[in-house]
Amino acid sequence: MNALKTYILLAGLTALFMGAGFMIGGPTGMLIALVIAVGLNAFSYWNADKIVLKTYGAVEVDGSDADRRIRDYVIDVQAMADRAGLPRPRVCVMQNDQPNAFATGRDPEHAAVAATTGLLSMLDRDEIAAVMAHELAHVKNRDTLTMTVTATLAGAISALANFAFFFGGSRDEDRPGGMIGAIAIAILAPFAAMLVQMAISRSREYEADRSGAQIGGDPAALARALQKIEAYARGGYENHQAERNPATAHMFIINPLNGHGADNLFSTHPATHNRVEALLALGVGQGVRGRRAGTAVPVSAGKSAGPWA
């Protein structure tokens, strides 16, 4: 089913890309856009994960690192991957004060997970493990290819729409929309791409929460982690790379962009309180295998935790 959804998603994004090409250059522009879209799909399949990791300055780490937090992080990810029957992914760290994480890769055999330095310093070990269990769930559910390719194509559609706005005002008869069409595609193409992002993110995040709670064995720890990440992200810890690359926002466990975590049309993620309620309901009657049992509680949005040293 996920494979079918991926094909439908790619077809939809390709159609958007071709539509933008048609508004810019008529049938010829649409054909050129098709060729570019096919090339982007192929390139994204093989290389999008590397691009995303490089965009965020993610560096691979291993269990030999001198920092105890990184050692624990690597050990826990590897142990959970083994427990979930997954190949061990590359484990990466991003220098970023905002606590957050994502997974990428075209399949479980070529997967990578990445956590920010803010996540490693502001959450306890159980919560970090729960977050990474969520990311491993994306790998296990084969969401990572769809999420990564979507980021690449959505960004390309936005770029093409901007091109249409600035260069689509020609009176050439082969360009059916003229300036009006250029303005329309500049507005509608990014919006449509955003709708696709929201559709895949919100449904897959709920499923990854559920599967991640099973892999990590501690739904309450994941619920606490989501609340903390949300509070810090909205409390002043900005993710500047994400702000410059908003098409990648859906890849993170919590929306890294400044805004409100409302479960509405303009959110790339489900509302955090909805996810927390679902996790706590999932944890009722379950034994907790984490190092510390606990319930989700609100946290201050202040900066008491400080940046990762």
Contact 129, 145 (CB under 8 A): no
The CA distances from residue 11 to 135, 229, 238, 251, in Å, are: 26, 34, 33, 20
Rounded Cα gap, residues 150 and 250, in angstroms: 9
Contact 222, 216 (CB under 8 A): yes
Tell me the chain's radius of gyration from C-alpha atoms.
Answer: 20
Contact 143, 204 (CB under 8 A): yes
**Type and span of the H or E element at 104:** strand 101-104
Determine whether 135 is an active site residue.
yes
The two beta strands, 90-94 and 112-116, are parallel
Rounded Cα gap, residues 136 and 223, in angstroms: 16
Amino acid at 254: I
The catalytic position among 60, 109, 127, 135 is: 135
Instruction: List, by residue number, the catalytic residues.
Output: 135
